Amino acid sequence: MEELKEKGAFSNPYVMQMDKFADSLVHLSRTFFTLEGYKGTFSREELETMFSRVTEQVCENCENREECLGEKKIQTYQRMYDILCAVEKYGAEINIELKRKLQKQCVMAPRFLRETLEAFENAKQQLIWNNRMVQNREGYAGQLQSFAKMIQYTTRELEASIFEDRHLEKKLKNYLKKQNIKMMSAVFYITPQGKYEVHLSVKAPKGQCIATKELAHEVGKCLGHPMIPGQNERPILGNEYASIACVEGAKYQTIQGVARIGKEGESISGDTFLMTDLPGGKKGIALSDGMGSGEEAFRDSTMVVEMLEELLEAGFPVNTAIQMMNTALVIGREEVRFSTVDVSLFDLYDGTCEIVKAGASTTFIKRKNKVEMIRSTSLPIGVLADIETDQEKLELESGDMVIMVTDGVLDMLTVGEQDTIMCTLIEQSSLVNPKEFANYLLGQALEWGQSLPGDDMTIIVTGIWKL
């Protein structure tokens, strides 16, 4: 955002402090990245340690010790190295030719081989563990870097958004006074969407209460912009000063409908979804399909959805939130267990929809005279440390519907024609109630498959209308 002030030009001391905090996180993240990296092979020192361990265990009481560890030490070392190379190529069952060669060269051949294999296995486990530590450290470093970038963006956005207007503040204070509302202070913002946001420190007259919705209405009348209480604001203003946020009202609203069924009719579904109001006049709809089905898949997808909800409601950009969740899943468990993520973010000010997918099924957009498809080619989260997402931003019109489905729905349709068939089912329906529409599509998919579902099935229909 070019209009945001560059670093070092801040005037708000709180913003300056937050920017310093972000710089510290960036520095810490870079320090993590400069530490020891991944290792694909053993170092010379590690090979020497293995050699010492093997010879101490095997050669201590051997009659040929002086010879093998003296003038023939290089040949003995090479013997162990040949075994390690063979193990890498063939596994523990090394070829017969090498075994015969070893028996000719060493009177303690079976034990030498056994101790070498054991030393190799221990060293290999240590190598795997060290690389795991590096992966975890780099994962945490990436999390710190993402968090720092978000703070840096937020500080610049705050600095650019906050403005002082003593005349406007005085005007608002006098206006609210006439409405028997006492105002101590006011902070004015212009959001990135160009909308007014006012944070007031106000209280009601002694012995009275005022609805926050009524307060916002009065503030809007004074400012000349329709205002509503901010997200999660208290409903009633009492006799003590409280901070109340008033924001410009949105131009659009969404209505959602969900239809779902578990694998083979089970009561527990591995698909989980969320519908939540987000900062900046946005509505978030997310759908996650855990690996497999049933209770275990339900736990995985529920964890993903709950994490996503917390991060989005805290103001994290959706891509940052998905990357942070992915890192947490990759470094937090030994086995690979993945979950798809399908997110639709509706901007209720301008009617746009941002769709972000990680391994999710096709999303369908029903417009007045056509159906569009948004496909995904990315992997689910929890598979790789670095993940790519599919993103698309759409301009929606009043009455358009966004249909999100899990792969269990499409699996009920003819292989190779799933998207086309789903488009036809959507086009043929004239339903405008999202709940009824979702139930209709689920019923059509089950009828098409003519059997109990082989996977969990979930359909979310979100319609958007202008107020």
Q: Would you say residue 259 has pLDDT above 80?
A: yes
More confident residue, 343 or 15: 343
Residue 48 — pLDDT band, cuts 50, 70, 90? confident
Topology (CATH) of 252-466 = Phosphatase 2c; domain 1 (3.60.40)
DSSP 3-state of 236: strand
CATH among 3.30.70, 1.10.10, 1.20.120, 1.20.5 for 166-248: 3.30.70
Rounded distance, CA 215 to CA 348, Å?
22
Give the per-residue pLDDT at 39.
67
Domain ranges of the chain: 1-159, 166-248, 252-466
**In contact, 387 and 378? CB cutoff 8 Å:** yes
Cβ-count burial 110-131 (b if 16+ within 10 Å, e if not): eebbebbbebbeebeeebeeee
Q: Which among 273, 387, 374, 375 has a CA at the least distance from the CA of 320?
A: 387
Residue 355: CB partners within 8 Å, gap ≥ 6? 343, 344, 345, 363, 374, 390, 391, 392, 393, 394, 402
pTM over 0.75: no
* Neighbour count for residue 381 (Cβ, 10 Å): 26
Q: Per-residue pLDDT tens for 288-298?
A: 988 776 677 78
Domains 166-248 and 252-466 fall in the same CATH topology: no
Give the per-residue pLDDT at 200.
92
Residue 1 — pLDDT band, cuts 50, 70, 90? very low
Query: Which residue is it, tokens 């498809």?
Result: 373
More confident residue, 142 or 276: 276
More confident residue, 105 or 332: 105
Q: Per-residue pLDDT tens for 356-410?
A: 999 999 999 999 989 999 998 998 988 877 788 999 999 999 999 999 999 999 9
Q: Per-residue pLDDT tens for 201-257?
A: 999 988 899 999 999 999 999 988 889 998 888 999 999 999 999 998 889 999 999
2-24 average pLDDT score: 60
**In contact, 362 and 375? CB cutoff 8 Å:** yes
Q: Would you say residue 416 has pLDDT above 80?
A: yes
And the tokens for 435? Answer: 């709940």
Give the per-residue pLDDT at 3.
38
Q: Tell me 361's DSSP state.
A: P
Residue 37 — pLDDT band, cuts 50, 70, 90? low
Rounded distance, CA 281 to CA 249, Å?
8
416-427 average pLDDT score: 94
Q: How far are the Cα atoms of 23, 161, 173, 323 from residue 8, in angstroms, in the given order?
A: 12, 17, 34, 29
More confident residue, 64 or 188: 188
Q: Per-residue pLDDT tens for 115-147?
A: 777 777 777 777 777 777 777 777 777 777 777
- Residue 228's H or E segment, with its range, is strand 227-229
